[in-house]
Amino acid sequence: MILKICGITNQEDADAAAEGGANAIGFNFYPSSPRFIAPERAAGIFTPPGMRRVGVFVNEPRTHVETLARVAALHVAQLHGSEQFADYPAGSAVWKAVRVTENFDLSQFEECPAEALLLDGPASGEPFDWGMLPAAPRPQRIILAGGLDASNVARAIALVHPWGVDACSRIECAPGKKDHDKMTAFLEAARAALGA
């Protein structure tokens, strides 16, 4: 199970995520994001062995993603955009991010070669209706994102049985700065829901 904290911009938050039990952290390389971090700065943030380093990209060319993945020592490229399967970068796992709206159809991703689909809410920090997802079969592993925190992650896990969960804006005290109490509570609630 992936327990991911996204929007990491500093070592203190990365350390707190690791101490709380996260096994993946996300660095946002979208320049317009309030959580943007330069790849060179992300490279300097230490993560313990076993922690997956995920880069968030929005409509970036494949070669640029591959370069930044090397610079920031990424394990995963999380792609938010209109890229085609042939545009997926080499050298990293891919998590394809998709905003879930009312007419979302999971079956359209049957041929997607990504390691996982990251299903996000219709807008930043907003959950979607988890009950609309089919229980099975699913074309890929599912990572749930969008509006998750300690108050709702157990219900999300119970409904969807995802491979992973991802929290960001609802566990912050300011964009790019995590509230360590909220982050720890989210991770504890997720682990408890998984029986871990």
Annotated catalytic residue within 120, 149, 166, 168: 120
How many C-alpha atoms does 59 have within 13 Å on its Cβ side?
A: 4
In whole angstroms, give the CA distance from residue 59 to residue 134.
28
Identify whether the C-beta of residue 77 lies closer than 8 Å to the C-beta of residue 49: no
Q: Tell me whether residue 105 is one of the annotated catalytic residues.
A: no
Q: Tell me whether residue 6 is one of the annotated catalytic residues.
A: yes
The single residue listed with the structure tokens 């905003």 is 99
In whole angstroms, give the CA distance from residue 94 to residue 134.
22
Exposed, middle or buried by CB within 10 Å (0-12, 13-18, 19+), for 161? Answer: middle
Annotated catalytic residue within 6, 13, 166, 168: 6
Q: Tokens standing for 149?
A: 């925190």
List the catalytic residues: 6, 120
